[in-house]
């Protein structure tokens, strides 16, 4: 019985695949490689010494999704596939609704048809929107403020309605805070297309000399140094949180949302300082105006995940920066673009 991982070639997905394989699970990966690289899956096998089935599949292709379930005995699904750039979602909202919602509904339909009712869903802290309830608890009112976040909130609602219609489903909704870092091998990591939107890959590219300096978006926030404060979580801690959630949905029926964060926030300038210490490189920066849509402060109360999943983050900011730097140094251009993508593999 396999665990189906949608979006398994992505930054977070590849780290989850390493964790699943090392824990002895059989996995099947679906990915359309629109924002990921098959090389990441080759390196998952390199790190773990294990092979696994992988298919280039777009979840919006309903027939293709059903075909996978007809061919392979699937025990549970970890659903990560989706478009995830906040800024882009504001520019092309229909692309985000089409891709994220249609893909999810096709997946859920196939799961229902083949009686696969154990699901871990990759949600996001963006479902909380601009809340002043800090630290954020799972019962904090939801209020996504951009199309990307709204797709995540809508998908959570879809799964809550699905559970209300059939309580034999077992569903965990994992709300990620700010994932950073890389597997300590330096062989898999974050590989953004073009200029990074997110802070850590941007800092890392400044440190290695690909970008001249960091733009700090605002230093007039109500924080100790005036810069934005976030809950950065090591991507390996995040992956372990998925393994714990998988154990939960394999043993308990019900639906629950869980914050995957550390419960501690760091400011932009604290991240710059930590990365300079980890890399031994200077990270020059300039102060710019606030970025539209940014919250001042956002970090999790991770109590529920600790109590109900038996999970908590253990990796600190120094390890997050050291592991990011190792990935950056070993792969200055990320995953080299490959000649031939994977279409189907046994």
Q: Which residues are catalytic?
A: 148
The residue count for binding ligand WQD (CB under 6 A) is 19
Judged by CB under 6 A, the residue of 84, 183, 244, 248 near ligand WQD is: 84
Of the candidate residues 163, 202, 275, 335, the single one contacting ligand WQD (CB under 6 A): 202
Q: Which of 108, 110, 206, 216 binds ligand WQD (CB under 6 A)?
A: 216
Which range of residues in 25-33, 71-79, 194-202, 301-309 is near ligand WQD by CB under 6 A? 194-202
Q: Which is nearer to ligand WQD, 118 or 152 (CB)?
A: 152
SS3 of residue 7 by DSSP: coil
Stretch of residues binding ligand WQD (CB under 6 A), selected from 31-39, 97-105, 192-200, 204-212: 192-200
Q: Tell me the three state secondary structure of residue 312.
A: coil
211 binds ligand WQD (CB under 6 A): no
Q: How many CA atoms lie within 13 A of 81 on its CB side?
A: 30
Retrieve residue 338's tokens.
Answer: 């490959």
Does residue number 273 form part of the binding site for ligand WQD (CB under 6 A)? no
Please, which of residues 284-313 interact with ligand WQD by CB under 6 A? 291, 294
Whole-number Å distance between alpha carbons of 209 and 34: 27
Q: How far is the CB of 323 from ligand WQD (least distance, A)?
A: 16
Binding residue (CB under 6 A) for ligand WQD from 17, 86, 110, 272: 86
> Interaction with ligand WQD in 141-180: which residues (CB under 6 A)?
176, 178
Q: What is the DSSP string of 87-111?
A: HHHHH-HHHHIIIIIIHHHHHHHHH
Say how many CA atoms lie within 13 Å of 270 toward its Cβ.
17
State the pairing for strand pair 229-230/266-267: antiparallel
24 CB-near residues (< 8 Å, 6+ apart): none
Give residue 121's Cα distance to chain centre: 10
Q: What angle do CA 153, 268, 195 make, to 5 degrees?
A: 70
Per CB under 6 A, 124 contacts ligand WQD: yes
**Which parts of this chain interact with ligand WQD (CB under 6 A)?**
84, 86, 124, 126, 176, 178, 197-199, 202, 214-217, 228, 230, 268, 291, 294
């Amino acid at each position: 019985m396999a665990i189906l991982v949608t979006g398994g070639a992505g930054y977070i997905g590849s780290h989850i695949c390493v964790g699943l394989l090392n824990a002895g699970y059989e996995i099947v990966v679906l990915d359309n490689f629109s924002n990921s690289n098959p090389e990441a899956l080759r390196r998952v096998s390199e790190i773990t010494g294990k092979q696994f089935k992988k298919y280039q599949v777009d979840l919006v292709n309903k027939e293709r999704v059903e075909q996978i379930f007809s061919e392979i005995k699937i025990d549970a699904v970890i659903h990560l596939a989706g478009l995830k750039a906040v800024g882009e979602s504001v520019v092309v909202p229909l692309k985000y609704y089409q891709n994220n919602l249609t893909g999810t509904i096709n997946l859920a339909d196939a799961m229902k048809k083949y009686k696969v009712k154990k699901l871990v869903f990759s949600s996001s802290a963006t479902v909380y929107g601009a809340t002043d309830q800090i630290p954020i608890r799972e019962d904090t009112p939801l209020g996504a403020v951009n199309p990307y976040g709204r797709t995540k909130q809508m998908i959570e609602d879809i799964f809550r309605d699905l559970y209300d219609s059939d309580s034999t489903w077992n569903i965990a909704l994992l709300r990620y805070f700010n994932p950073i870092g890389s597997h300590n091998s330096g062989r898999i990591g974050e590989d953004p297309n073009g200029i990074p939107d997110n802070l850590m890959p941007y800092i890392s590219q400044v440190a290695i000399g690909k970008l001249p300096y960091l733009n700090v978006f605002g230093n007039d926030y109500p924080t100790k140094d005036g810069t934005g404060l976030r809950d950065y979580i090591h991507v390996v801690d995040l992956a372990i949180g998925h393994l714990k959630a998988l154990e939960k949905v394999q043993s308990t029926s019900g639906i629950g949302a869980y914050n995957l964060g550390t419960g501690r926030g760091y400011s932009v300038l604290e991240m710059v300082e930590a990365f300079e210490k980890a890399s031994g490189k200077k990270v020059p920066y300039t102060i710019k105006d606030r970025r539209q849509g940014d919250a001042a402060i956002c970090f999790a109360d991770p109590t529920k995940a600790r109590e109900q999943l038996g999970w908590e983050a253990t990796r600190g900011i120094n390890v997050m920066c050291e592991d990011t730097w190792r990935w950056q140094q070993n792969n200055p251009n990320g995953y080299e673009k490959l000649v031939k993508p994977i279409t189907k593999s046994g």
